[in-house]
Structure formats: structure tokens, C-alpha cells
Chains A and B, each alone.
Chain A
């Protein structure tokens, strides 16, 4: 227990009017770890990421990043401390070029940076995600896969130590998904801790060291991919519906 978590989420509760989106959720993320955050639609995954990046202030609970309490800080302060994220619904700056989009992160997250260093960081991030050739394009000229990777490049340009990915593979084909899996592994090798929110189970199994399962805002499982996929709670709550449906479908086809 000598290593301290890079992120601790403690007893976080978020309510939207009558809806409890996140209920008393707690988990830790260790440095260098890739954590999968899964759960059915509306389970509160995005809301939890919004809490970590401070876009939403939880009604209850606390957060610590690298041992320091960050509850109640502003989003830009959190970003400058080293927490970056992507959005499930991509949010490019549509009037800026791809390069300029990425430069924003480098420009505002690292103080005392000259123009050339900002450019170098942006070039680096674009190269990582394979968008170098599109540097001068506008976001509207990108495919969905490219837009998802632009989200990642924008996050990477802030030089984060913790990266939150919200469904960066949704809507992509197998080749594109494999490419992003490779990218996540590479980024993780560079030392980033990552939280991956994803419905694509194949990807979750491929990249995650550990998985947290949410259901109706509550954490119902927390463990290695094997533990979680064998957990009867999880099977009935989440995988269950799908397994049952898929099995019914294959039985019908047979």
C-alpha cells in the first residue's frame, strides 16, 4: 500500500432533480493503470467523468488527484493539473483547423511556452493519433473516426497524467477500433493512467487492467476483467441482458 492512487473518488453522489445519476460511488485509480468504466446506458458513466473533470459539481463526495483534494476546483484548473478528457459527443472547435484545435490544449495547460513549443506539442499529438495529414482541415471535413481521434489529440496536447476517454470507439468499425486500442496501449506505455468508458466489450477486455461496473449510478463490481465478467451480479445486470439476447438470437438462427 505504499503507492498512492493517482485518482481517488470517494462517496460521490450526483442528482439531477429527482434522478440520481451517480450514487455513493467510490473507486481508486493507481498510477499507470487502465481502468474500464462500464455499465448500461444511463448508468452514470459520463456523469462520473464530468465530476472528475469538474464540469459537474457532485452534491456529495470528494475527489483527490495525486493525493491533493480537487473537489470544487474549476475545470480549467483541473485540466492544468494534468487531467484531460474526451467527450462522448465530440466537441471540436469547428471554426479552428485541426492543428489549431490541438494547439489550444498546449497553449493553456503549460505556462511559459513559446509558439514553437506549442506547435511541437500539437504536431506530436496529431502524429500520435494519425491526423498529421489533416492538420489544416476543418473538423467538419473529418470522418467520425478522425473526429474521435481529434478528441484524443486535443486531450493529449495538454500533457495529461490522467486521461478520461468517453466512448471513443462508439460507431467505429473493427479496423478503426483496433487502431484506437493500439493507441490507448501506446499512450499507457508512455506512463498515462487512463479511464476508459466504453460499450465495446472486446476493447475493454483488450486494454483494461481493472473494471468498475456501474448500474443505476451505483458501483456493483470492481475487479480484474476475469473477476468482473464472472461476477453473477454483473452478468445479470449488464452482460446478462445481452448474453441472453445474443444466445436467443443464435439459438433462433440455428
Chain B
């Protein structure tokens, strides 16, 4: 699918998402807010995995970092908007600092290092205690807003962040950095001898990826009003986002969003009926995705539309 078409589709989805809260109940409001949240994480993965080809399995680290930065800030009376900005920027800075050594590694070492980083952050938070709450978890200030209003506001915050993340990916796909990433994904040496500063490109990509992930984590912390390391640094967050990105189509603009929507809705409708075999179904779903739509839904749509227009040409030629 061309960038233009993907953007048009995204605009339609955005309008639908804007009016949705007027017609759905609180249960579906929560489901949709979760869809947006995990779609942001999937978009973050898209930047580093889809574009650069660096498998950041441990990207949940930035979800946790964002959540804790927002949590600690909110507890220090920092206004909400600023707390989210700090979570976003702080996560990017952390990715920059660790990317400096880690992204000099090529390929698979990085995937493992990113998981190790996630584990290390958990240890740091647990041992810091004090402002982070350590093993006890961290309660956040509770908003005085009425719940209906509050949950709608959080819905729109997640939607806004997802919109910005998607616009960033769209901009990236046509930018110098986007070219650099797609080039180095296919051949790192090839990119280097053509003038691409690959280390810098990879670090920038991971910082953008971390910023998105940290932003989602920050809003999530505010939403939950209580965070602890187990759920904030849950590697399952990256894993789910990974499946969504694959399902939608990595390296595309709206693939991760479409993937997140399809995955979460299927999960909500089907798996909640079979909670005792949840993981079995999740595994089967993943296998089905890899076999049936290896390149993702967006590529599937492109192929189908290419075939349709070819058929139309043929009919016109016959007539």
C-alpha cells in the first residue's frame, strides 16, 4: 500500500476513533484505550525492528521507564502533561545512553542485550526503593475527576499519542533517516560504504522507538494509579506488540495499528471465553499469523488491490 493510501485509511480510522466514546460503554472504552496503548508500543517496535531490522525484544524496558518517570513526577506534583513529556523524553535519553554501546553490536547480540536491559531496570527499581516504591510498588495520586470523564480523557490521550506516533512513522518513511534505516537493515556494510552513519542512525531509531514506548508507559501509569515492576517491565508487553506488528505488517505506516486492533479485538471477543487455554490459543494464533500472513495485513491488502486492478485492466483490454 502506498504511503498516501495508508494515510487516508489512518485518517478514516482517526475520525471513527474520535466519535467512538459517544457510542460505547465503559467496558469497550477500556478495550479501545488498551488497543491504542499497545499500538503505540507496536509503532515503537516498528521503528527499530520494522525499519532498522534490530530486534528489540526487550523494548518493554522503556514502557517501564516511562511509567516510573511519570509516576515519580506525578507524585512530586509535576503537572500531568509535563509528566508525560518527561516520560517520553526521559525514555529517549535512556535509549540514547544505552544505545551508544549496545548498537555498536550488530544483529542478534542487540536483541539479547535489550532483554538484559529490561531485567537490569527491574533490579534497579527494586533496589532504589524510596521514590520508586521498590518491591512494594508505587501508588500515584488519584484524579479528582469523575470516572466517566477521566477515562474518556485517558482514551483521548492514548489516541493522541498514537496519532503522533503514526505521523512520526509516516514522516520517517520518506526521510533521510528512514532511508538510512531501511538500507542498513538489508546490508549494514553496504550502507556504510555509501555514506550512511549506521551507528548514529540506529541510536536515533532506538531513541524514537523508546520515546513512543515511554509515552505509552507514562499514560498507562496515570491510568492505573498504581504501578509495580512486574507489570511495568512485563516482557509480555513487547511480545504482544511484536505479534501485532507482524500481523499488521512491519515497516509499514499503519500496519502496527491495524495489527493491534485486530489482535486485541480477537483476544477480547474470543479468548475471554477460554481463559484457561489462553496461552494455547495465543500460540496457535501466532503460528497462524506467521503461516497465513507472513508479511502482514497491509501487504495482503496491497497484493489484493494489485490483483484487482490487474483484473480490471484485463477486462478493459477484452472489452
Contacts and interface: CB of A to CB of B under 8 A. Distances in A.
Contacts, number: 78
Given A100-B179, A107-B179, A92 B190 contact: yes
Given A93-B182, A95-B182, A96-B182, A104 B189 contact: no
Contacts of A84: 193-194
Contacts of A104: 179-180, 183, 191, 194-196
Interface in B161-194: 176, 179-180, 182-183, 185-187, 189-194
Interface residues of B, number: 19
A233 interface: no
A246 B174 CA distance: 55
B192 A91 contact: no
Interface string B189-205: 11111111110000000
Contacts of A94: 186
Given A79-B195, A104-B196, A105-B195, A55 B189 contact: yes
B251 A108 contact: no
A79 B190 CA distance: 11
B191 A93 contact: yes
B192 A55 contact: yes
A134 to B, nearest CB: 17
Nearest to B189: A55
Contacts of B176: 107-108
B193 A93 contact: no
A47 to B, nearest CB: 14
Interface in B99-152: none
A84 B191 CA distance: 11
A103 interface: yes
Contact of A79 (B180, B183, B185, B193): B193
Nearest to B188: A91
A53 interface: yes
Contacts of B192: 55, 74-76, 79
Contacts of A96: 179, 182-183, 186
Contacts of B191: 93, 104
Contact of B196 (A76, A95, A100, A155): A76
Nearest to B190: A91
A8 to B, nearest CB: 20
A55 B188 CA distance: 10
Contact of A95 (B186, B189, B194): B186
A12 B195 CA distance: 24
B106 to A, nearest CB: 12
Interface string A74-108: 11101110001101000111111000100111011
Given A53-B193, A85-B193, A95-B186, 7 more contacts: A76-B196, A87-B189, A91-B186, A96-B183, A104-B195, A108-B195, A109-B194
Interface of B: 176, 179-180, 182-183, 185-187, 189-198, 251
Interface of A: 53, 55, 74-76, 78-80, 84-85, 87, 91-96, 100, 103-105, 107-109, 154-155, 157-158
13 contacts: A53-B193, A74-B192, A75-B189, A75-B193, A78-B193, A84-B193, A84-B194, A92-B186, A92-B187, A94-B186, A107-B195, A108-B180, A155-B193
Ranked 8 nearest A-B pairs via Cβ: A108-B195, A91-B190, A75-B192, A109-B195, A91-B187, A93-B186, A79-B195, A105-B194
